């Protein structure tokens, strides 16, 4: 919220040209506080602030870059038009042209420049085309955004033959082909063997430094060679290379001589005149630069000698104890004189007592200079304590192609924390301040997402841009924070372990007694205990550590009494109001939402209370919650509230009283990173930025959740370290389901005897008892069936119980530092083996086995889904053979204790043995004995590598590295089954390049799922296609599947993504109705807040696609997007493009519909209230026509679009998370809401696509909820696995039941028997009841309360006795808790 309104911001006219004027920059420094965020005035004011000019991010204009000569002497005029990525050339070029016009005797010069992002604006583009009409020379540089590159190409192509010279420096091939200088041309680029083409080849060897660096090498050598070649062609090529030298030289002198050379040689009016120009002044390609140094240095020893002889510094800077920070700079900023922001960082570092080594490179590969200048050539140890890149680019490759492995290799040698801060490129300071989104999406993709793949952290914006001169200027508060944080990361390297102080922060969510230490898949206290023991052994000062993890729980939460507003948690500190206000500079900004401190959250009425317990130099604290969970009115607000005073006091305590050197957030996930503020690129008034302050933040995050980990990275500056999810197992069969399995086996052996019919009748009645009649069409009792009908009934029941049996579920909870044993890894390996990996030449095990029998596995899957008995049986045999083969392989690689031993050596011996290969031996006794040996060998080699990764353990190791101020190797997050590169855990998690999705493979998968979804809906809907599907896009799902659900939206409306030459997807093309073979289906897309933050470029792409489709001239019965958009435009009196808004999410900086919070905290009256929450929080649309505006409320369009939905749809893409595991899924479900909005009041069909296995399924929501209940909540294997974790396990059971109630509330798709069976399992079983009550009485109380609530709200009909028993239990457990309290 704080970022919604900014104070007026003016940029001083004074240029910052030398060090003495650094003090002037203080005028630029701003701090702005939130005005009333929920009042009507603010809303209006905010909108005025954001929607200015053209609605785009970049609102500067070319006119500030236009120089028109006075030309009193009537000299020939040369007109130059240029397009650049960044503005650093603006002031240098302007100065060069002004100087030429002042002294010119032969020609006068007119120049106008455009930033490539400005060309999105229709008027700017028109003006650009007009300027080209009479231009002599066009110059372009670093044009790497495809849609804009194509615009530049289209405009320049028209005038290319007429112009005297076209010069394009490193850009996309399409633009490079425009180059023309006399007889020199690059028109053949991409087809010829020219040296320039070779630079673009995709598969460069790892030693090649990328395009720009190859270009630099050419620049250095070619002019010398070409000088002696006689032909014009050679001279023109030489001129091009000299031009590039001048351009890279960047100073006004170099650029002036460049213009004289090109115009004198190629402008006809100046031919024959002797235009004198000097050769380019060349700067070092790489080196060390300091604003006070007499020159650039090429040798770090020389630089340090100069540094130690400086007279302007105090002695502390020269001492050996001073921290040393490495800075990485872009040479173009230095040579063009646009370096005041660099100077500010250097001066601030030195003012804070840190030495600096500022290095630069002329190209886009900084890995060489990093190794050359930051690592001591003799000791091979780093000379610096942390490194800050001020370029914003990936370490190798800049905005073009990156080489992340090469960057990681260099950074691992360096082994210090790597921070990538960034200057604003496409926005002026004011545009950024006024934007609720924060940083421009293209800059997020290029300068935040890509450096993260190198392991970069802390994307702090340290410099703004002056709209008039285009020059960068320091943002002082940001620079102060950047420097302090960099020095603090460096201190972790220098401090001894005994003096380091660490604050471990645990979460308590929802704020209910019994919930302290919540984290996805993690046994939090057992893990903390394991971490503390390890730290103690490693030399950290940890004292009074209890004997066991259970005792640790008691210590921190006192009798597990964990209610957020009760003093029964252990109080670590009482903070008086005065002290709080003094320590928390932003506390007044919280009063709008929470009144004066201390308030009533985390307070005793006089003081603010910090909960937790200190053990020597380690503090375990409980992060307060959002604070508004229990208030239905606050939950209805469309934007989120600020943190409350107790929340702010916690972080003030950690930083300023406990004085933590680092904070360790323990598990997925807390609330800090989801506090209001800009999405990416925060200002000092954004709450996550204020809260984390200057403390280095290390964050344990589940490996399968890269999207929320990325939010934590960007908004709380976290070094995110991945932990493993618990090992998966097959759900298996139990009780009646197990009996069914046995009956089916009997049927198969006896079906042709007289007993076949009798067994089928038992199968049908048992299936009914197991409530399978909702999933399978069962015949009436006593119905006469033919043999083939009996086979079909048995086949369908068999298929259903096989689906339940083979479903994967994570068993128990993970403990940090305890990797799974090899045997626990079997189920995961079987599932890794079940996927074909064509890009790696690996066939899946089911594919290999089915081909042995002359079948294709897809056919077997389809047959089994239909209930064809022989296919169900074959699929079962394939599944069992796969498990057996993998088991035999793993068994060979383990010792008696079940640990994997020397997999590497074992593998070599196994793989060399041919007939003795364990899987071959196993399969020789099955019907698959003829399976292809070579394919099996390749597969098992891959599985061997995966096994090594699964059992590797680096979670504690990486934590220790981070706390010692070392570099943590980055790695992707995601689903280890789809992408084993996620393993081993203990990596600094990153997402992916947001512009790389959807991939071609994702599009293929999406087409299959959409076609199945539409078929299923036609089947359930009288043969009619759905006109509209309402669906959800999740951040993590799209990272794991490389954009499958994104591609599903595209296929529904009938468009395909188009990748550019660099492989980025920024365009779509229409698929013709003929090719589509069906109508275009309308969509209402609800993007999660996390998807919005990570994939705003893709939201832009989808919105453009939907609007394109709405404007197609097609019959309305074949284009439902157009049909509905026209109807809505007419009703609302708006343009069709606006009526076709279909891409919705929360307001910027807000997350979730809050339906989950209301359900988890039982703070809702009726379903209508939940639906209002959804509508008020989720009705913000993204508009590709005005992307700079951010999310705009369009509730009426949202409601009208939803009212046409015939189906709702979500995706499940990995076995670890299903519908009742987390509250996000029902929080985003609009099924009941759509029914209320539809004119006919008809309930839409609700579907879930399940792509967790190779056999993708589309099920109804109620089928999926039943499958989930059978495999998790009601499955002894699952709940016993959970209860083995003790305290946390009871909470996990309660959470599943609460989430089931959530589904009843939003969709009404939960069968009565689910609640009835759950009650039988957990309440009517006395032994179970006592276990739950004694292990975690608070969570058990919530479980009982949830049963009563399900009944009270009409979701569960049951006997009076059951309800009486539950009420009685509730009183008993209340008394037990009260008694414990006394």
Is residue 106 left, alpha or beta, with left meaning phi > 0 and alpha meaning psi from -120 to 50? alpha
Q: Which of 15-24, 444-453, 898-907, 1067-1076 has the highest mean pLDDT?
A: 1067-1076
What pLDDT sits at residue 864?
A: 87
The token pair at 636 is: 């209805």
φ and ψ at residue 1176, rounded to 5 degrees:
-75, -30
pLDDT digit string (tens) for 539-578?
A: 999 999 988 888 888 777 664 444 333 446 788 899 999 9
Instruction: Give the integer Cα–Cα distance in Å for 642 and 711.
Output: 17
Please state whether beta strands 1143-1145 and 1082-1087 pair in parallel, antiparallel, or not at all (unpaired).
parallel
When mean pLDDT is compared across 220-229, 375-384, 424-433, 1139-1148, the lowest value belongs to 220-229
Instruction: Give the integer Cα–Cα distance in Å for 1137 and 1125.
Output: 8
Higher-confidence position of 643 and 187: 643
Q: Which contiguous run of DSSP H or E holds residue 78?
A: strand 77-84
pLDDT digit string (tens) for 1177-1201?
A: 999 999 888 877 778 899 999 999 9
> Is pLDDT above 70 for 219?
no
Instruction: Give the integer Cα–Cα distance in Å for 1029 and 93.
Output: 53
951: three-class secondary structure by DSSP: helix
What's the pLDDT band for 236 if we cut at 50, 70, 90? Answer: confident
Query: Helices 404-414 and 367-374 meet at what angle, rounded to 10?
Result: 10
**Which of 1089, 1085, 1105 is closest to 1045 using CA atoms?**
1085
Q: Which contiguous run of DSSP H or E holds residue 961?
A: helix 955-963
The token pair at 258 is: 């460049």
Mean pLDDT of 11-15: 31
Query: Helices 122-133 and 146-160 meet at what angle, rounded to 10?
Result: 30
What's the pLDDT band for 35 if we cut at 50, 70, 90? Answer: very low
Please state whether beta strands 697-702 and 718-723 pair in parallel, antiparallel, or not at all (unpaired).
parallel
> Is pLDDT above 70 for 201?
no
Q: Which residues contact 685 (CB under 8 A, 6 or more apart)?
A: 2, 3, 6, 31, 32, 33, 34, 586, 589, 677
What pLDDT sits at residue 977?
A: 85
Long-range CB pairs of 1169-1173 (<8 Å, 24+ gap) are 1169/632, 1169/636, 1170/1305, 1170/1306, 1171/1232, 1171/1233, 1171/1236, 1172/636, 1173/635, 1173/636
Mean pLDDT of 1038-1049: 90
Query: Helices 903-911 and 869-892 meet at what angle, rounded to 10?
Result: 120
What's the pLDDT band for 901 if we cut at 50, 70, 90? Answer: low
1366: three-class secondary structure by DSSP: helix
Matching residue, tokens 């600096």? 356
Instruction: Give the integer Cα–Cα distance in Å for 117 and 10.
Output: 23
998: three-class secondary structure by DSSP: coil
Higher-confidence position of 397 and 528: 528
Q: Which of 104-108, 230-234, 295-299, 705-709 has the highest mean pLDDT?
A: 295-299
What's the pLDDT band for 510 if we cut at 50, 70, 90? Answer: low
Please, are residues 1086 and 1145 in contact by the beta-carbon 8 Å criterion?
Answer: yes
When mean pLDDT is compared across 207-211, 246-250, 393-397, 783-787, the lowest value belongs to 207-211
Angstrom distances, CA of residue 1083 to CA of 1048, 1068, 1124: 10, 16, 10
What pLDDT sits at residue 223?
A: 54
Matching residue, tokens 């809303």? 43
Instruction: Please return the burial class of 19, using the count of CB atoms within 10 Å of its CB with bins 0-12, 13-18 and 19+.
Output: middle
Instruction: Give the integer Cα–Cα distance in Å for 243 and 161.
Output: 20
Neighbours of 725 (CB within 10 A): 25
Please, are residues 1214 and 1252 in contact by the beta-carbon 8 Å criterion?
Answer: yes
pLDDT digit string (tens) for 143-194?
A: 888 888 999 999 999 999 999 999 998 888 889 899 999 888 887 665 544 4
**Which of 246, 210, 239, 201 is closest to 222 using CA atoms?**
239
What pLDDT sits at residue 250?
A: 87
Mean pLDDT of 84-103: 88
Q: In what order do the strands lie in the sheet with 180-181?
A: 108-115, 77-84, 137-141, 165-168, 180-181, 184-185
φ and ψ at residue 992, rounded to 5 degrees:
-145, 175
What pLDDT sits at residue 554?
A: 77
Neighbours of 1014 (CB within 10 A): 20
Helices (H), 321-361: 331-335, 340-351
List, in sequence order, every residue forming a beta bridge with 702; answer none if it has no partner: 723
Higher-confidence position of 1165 and 906: 1165
What pLDDT sits at residue 518?
A: 76
Angstrom distances, CA of residue 457 to CA of 207, 462, 588, 720, 848: 26, 14, 30, 9, 44
> Is pLDDT above 60 for 291?
yes
The token pair at 446 is: 């290029």
What pLDDT sits at residue 868?
A: 87
What pLDDT sits at residue 569?
A: 76
Instruction: Please return the burial class of 1069, using the count of CB atoms within 10 Å of its CB with bins 0-12, 13-18 and 19+.
Output: exposed
The token pair at 829 is: 């390996």
What's the pLDDT band for 279 if we cut at 50, 70, 90? Answer: confident
Matching residue, tokens 């359900």? 1159
What pLDDT sits at residue 896?
A: 67
- Mean confidence (pLDDT) of the chain: 84
Mean pLDDT of 274-290: 89
What's the pLDDT band for 207 if we cut at 50, 70, 90? Answer: very low
Instruction: Give the integer Cα–Cα distance in Å for 772 and 737.
Output: 10
φ and ψ at residue 621, rounded to 5 degrees:
-120, 155
Instruction: Give the integer Cα–Cα distance in Å for 219 and 336.
Output: 19
Instruction: Give the integer Cα–Cα distance in Å for 939 and 934.
Output: 9
DSSP for 1277-1332? HHHHHHHTTTHHHHHHHHHHHHHHHHHHHHH----HHHHHHHHIIIII-HHHHHHH
When mean pLDDT is compared across 516-525, 650-659, 1291-1300, the lowest value belongs to 516-525
Mean pLDDT of 1142-1169: 86
What's the pLDDT band for 906 if we cut at 50, 70, 90? Answer: low
What is the torsional sign of CA 1306, 1307, 1313, 1317? negative
Mean pLDDT of 1114-1137: 94
Neighbours of 1268 (CB within 10 A): 25
pLDDT more than 90, % of the chain: 43
Query: Helices 933-951 and 869-892 meet at what angle, rounded to 10?
Result: 60
Please, are residues 469 and 90 in contact by the beta-carbon 8 Å criterion?
Answer: yes
φ and ψ at residue 600, rounded to 5 degrees:
-115, 10
**Which of 582, 585, 341, 345 is closest to 471 using CA atoms?**
341
Q: Which contiguous run of DSSP H or E holds residue 418?
A: strand 418-420
- Report the helix count and the strand count for the chain, using DSSP H and E: 58, 35
What's the pLDDT band for 904 if we cut at 50, 70, 90? Answer: low
pLDDT digit string (tens) for 828-849?
A: 898 899 888 888 889 999 999 9
The conformation of residue 1359, written as its DSSP 8-state character, comes to -
Angstrom distances, CA of residue 1309 to CA of 774, 971, 1226: 12, 39, 11
What's the pLDDT band for 34 if we cut at 50, 70, 90? Answer: very low
């Amino acid at each position: 919220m704080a970022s919604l309104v900014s104070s007026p911001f003016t940029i001083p006219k004074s240029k910052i040209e030398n060090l003495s004027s650094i003090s002037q920059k203080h005028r630029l420094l701003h701090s702005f506080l939130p005005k009333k965020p929920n009042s009507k005035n603010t809303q209006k004011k905010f909108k005025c602030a954001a929607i200015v000019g053209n609605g785009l991010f970049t609102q500067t204009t070319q006119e500030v870059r236009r120089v028109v000569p006075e030309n009193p002497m009537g000299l020939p005029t040369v007109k130059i038009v240029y397009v650049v990525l960044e503005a650093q050339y603006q002031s240098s070029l302007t100065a060069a042209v002004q100087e030429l016009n002042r002294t010119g005797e032969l020609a006068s010069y007119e120049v106008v420049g455009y930033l490539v992002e400005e060309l999105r604006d229709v008027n700017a583009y028109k003006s650009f085309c007009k300027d080209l009409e009479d231009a002599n020379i066009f110059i372009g540089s670093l044009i790497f955004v495809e849609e804009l590159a194509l615009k530049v190409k289209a405009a320049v192509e028209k005038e290319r033959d007429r112009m005297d010279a076209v010069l394009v420096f490193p850009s996309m091939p399409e633009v490079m082909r425009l180059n023309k200088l006399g007889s020199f041309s690059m028109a053949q680029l991409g087809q010829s063997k020219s040296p320039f083409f070779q630079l673009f080849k995709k598969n460069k060897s790892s030693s090649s430094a990328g395009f720009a660096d190859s270009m630099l090498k050419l620049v250095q050598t070619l002019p010398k060679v070409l000088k002696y070649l006689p032909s014009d062609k050679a001279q023109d090529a030489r001129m091009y290379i000299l031009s590039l030298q001048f351009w890279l030289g960047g100073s006004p002198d170099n650029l002036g001589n460049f213009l004289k050379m090109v115009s004198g040689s190629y402008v006809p009016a100046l031919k024959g005149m002797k235009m004198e120009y000097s050769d380019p002044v060349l700067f070092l390609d790489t080196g060390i630069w300091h604003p006070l140094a007499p020159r650039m240095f090429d040798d770090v020893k020389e630089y340090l000698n100069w540094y130690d002889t400086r007279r302007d510094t105090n002695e502390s800077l020269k001492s050996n104890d001073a921290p040393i920070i490495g800075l990485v700079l872009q040479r173009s900023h230095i040579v063009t004189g646009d370096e005041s922001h660099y100077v500010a960082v250097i001066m601030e570092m030195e003012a804070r007592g840190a030495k600096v080594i500022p290095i630069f490179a002329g190209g886009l590969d900084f890995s060489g200079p990093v190794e050359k200048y930051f690592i001591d050539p003799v000791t091979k140890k780093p000379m610096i304590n942390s490194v800050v890149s001020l370029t914003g680019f990936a370490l190798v490759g800049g905005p073009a192609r990156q080489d992340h492995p090469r960057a990681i290799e260099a950074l691992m040698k360096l082994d210090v924390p790597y921070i990538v801060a960034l200057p604003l490129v496409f926005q002026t300071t004011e545009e950024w301040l006024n934007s609720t989104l924060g940083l421009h999406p293209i800059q997020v993709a290029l300068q935040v997402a890509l450096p993260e793949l190198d392991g970069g952290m802390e994307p702090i914006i340290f410099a703004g841009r002056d709209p008039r001169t285009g020059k960068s200027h320091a943002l002082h508060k940001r620079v102060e924070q950047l420097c302090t944080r960099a020095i603090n990361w460096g201190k972790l390297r220098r401090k001894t372990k005994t003096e380091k102080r660490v604050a471990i922060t645990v979460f308590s969510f929802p704020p209910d007694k019994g919930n302290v230490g919540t984290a996805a898949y993690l046994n939090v206290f057992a893990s903390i205990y394991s971490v503390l023991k390890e730290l103690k052994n490693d030399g950290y000062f940890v004292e009074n550590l209890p004997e066991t993890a259970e005792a640790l729980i008691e210590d921190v939460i006192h009798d597990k009494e964990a209610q957020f507003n009760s003093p029964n948690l252990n109080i670590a500190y009482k903070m008086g109001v005065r002290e709080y206000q003094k320590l928390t500079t932003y506390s007044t900004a919280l009063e709008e939402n929470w009144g004066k401190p201390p308030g009533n959250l985390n307070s005793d009425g006089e003081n603010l209370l910090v909960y937790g317990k200190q053990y020597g130099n380690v503090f375990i604290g409980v992060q307060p919650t959002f604070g508004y969970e229990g208030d239905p009115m606050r939950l209805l607000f469309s934007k989120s509230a600020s943190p409350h005073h107790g929340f702010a006091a916690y972080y003030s305590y950690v930083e300023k009283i406990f004085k933590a050197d680092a904070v360790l957030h323990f598990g997925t996930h807390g609330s800090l990173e989801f506090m209001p503020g800009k999405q990416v690129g925060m200002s000092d008034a954004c709450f996550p930025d204020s809260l984390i302050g200057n403390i280095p933040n290390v964050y344990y995050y589940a490996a399968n959740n890269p999207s929320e980990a990325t939010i934590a990275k960007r908004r709380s500056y976290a070094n995110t370290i991945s932990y493993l999810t618990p090992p998966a197992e097959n759900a298996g069969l139990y009780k009646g389901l197990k009996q069914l399995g046995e009956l089916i086996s009997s049927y198969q052996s006896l079906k042709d005897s007289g007993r076949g019919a009798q067994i089928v009748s038992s199968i049908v009645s048992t299936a009914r008892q197991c409530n399978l009649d909702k999933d399978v069409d069962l015949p009436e009792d006593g119905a006469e069936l033919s043999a083939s009908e009996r086979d079909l009934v048995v086949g369908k029941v068999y298929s259903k119980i096989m689906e339940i049996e083979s479903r994967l579920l994570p068993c128990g909870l993970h403990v940090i530092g305890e990797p799974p044993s090899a045997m626990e890894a079997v189920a995961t390996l079987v599932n890794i083996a079940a996927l074909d990996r064509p890009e790696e030449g690996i066939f899946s095990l089911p594919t290999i086995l089915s081909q042995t029998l002359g079948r294709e596995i897809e056919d077997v899957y389809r047959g089994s889904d239909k209930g064809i008995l022989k296919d169900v049986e074959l699929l079962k045999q394939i599944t069992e053979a796969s498990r057996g083969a993998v088991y035999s392989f793993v068994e060979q690689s383990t010792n008696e204790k079940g640990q994997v031993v020397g997999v590497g050596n074992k593998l070599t011996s196994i793989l060399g043995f041919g007939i003795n290969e364990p899987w071959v031996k196993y399969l020789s006794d099955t019907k698959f004995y003829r399976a292809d040996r070579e394919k099996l060998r390749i597969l098992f080699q891959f599985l061997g590598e995966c096994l090594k990764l699964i059992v590797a353990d680096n979670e504690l190791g990486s934590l220790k590295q981070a706390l010692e101020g070392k570099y943590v190797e980055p790695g992707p997050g995601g689903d280890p089954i789809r992408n084993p590169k996620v393993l081993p855990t203990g990596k600094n998690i990153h997402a992916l390049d947001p512009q790389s999705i959807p991939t071609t493979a994702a599009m293929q998968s999406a087409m299959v799922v959409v076609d199945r979804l539409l078929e299923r809906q036609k089947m359930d809907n009288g043969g009619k296609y759905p006109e509209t599907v309402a669906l959800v896009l999740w951040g993590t799902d799209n990272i794991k599947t490389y954009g499958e659900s994104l591609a599903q939206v595209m296929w529904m409306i009938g468009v395909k993504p188009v990748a550019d030459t660099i492989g980025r997807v920024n365009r779509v093309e229409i698929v013709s109705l003929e090719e589509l073979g069906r109508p275009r289906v309308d969509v209402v897309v609800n993007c999660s807040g996390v998807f919005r933050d990570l994939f705003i470029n893709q939201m832009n792409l989808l919105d453009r696609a939907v609007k394109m489709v709405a404007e197609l001239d097609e019959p309305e019965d074949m284009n439902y997007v157009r049909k509905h958009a026209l109807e809505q435009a007419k009703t609302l009196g708006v343009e069709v493009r606006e009526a076709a808004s279909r891409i919705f999410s929360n307001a910027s900086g807000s997350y979730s519909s809050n339906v989950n919070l209301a359900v988890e905290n039982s703070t809702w009256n009726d379903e209508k209230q939940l639906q209002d929450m959804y509508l008020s929080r989720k009705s913000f649309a993204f508009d590709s026509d005005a992307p700079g505006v951010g999310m705009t409320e369009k509730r009426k369009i949202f409601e009208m679009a939803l009212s046409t939905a015939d189906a709702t749809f979500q995706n499940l893409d990995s076995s670890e998370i299903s519908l009742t595991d987390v509250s996000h899924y029902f929080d985003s479900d609009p099924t009941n809401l759509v029914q209320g909005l539809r004119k006919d009041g008809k309930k839409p069909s609700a579907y879930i696509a399940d792509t967790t296995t190779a056999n993708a399924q589309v099920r109804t929501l109620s089928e999926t909820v039943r499958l989930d209940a059978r495999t998790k909540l009601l499955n002894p294997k699952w709940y016993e696995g959970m209860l083995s974790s003790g305290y946390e396990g009871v909470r996990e059971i309660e959470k599943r039941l609460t989430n089931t109630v959530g589904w009843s509330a939003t969709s009404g798709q939960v069968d009565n028997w689910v609640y009835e069976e759950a009650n039988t399992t957990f309440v009517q079983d006395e032994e179970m009841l006592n276990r739950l009550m004694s292990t975690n009485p608070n969570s058990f109380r919530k479980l009982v309360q949830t049963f009563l609530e399900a009944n009270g709200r009409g979701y569960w009909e049951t006997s009076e006795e059951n309800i009486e028993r539950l009420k009685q239990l509730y009183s008993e457990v209340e008394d037990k808790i009260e008694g414990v309290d006394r």
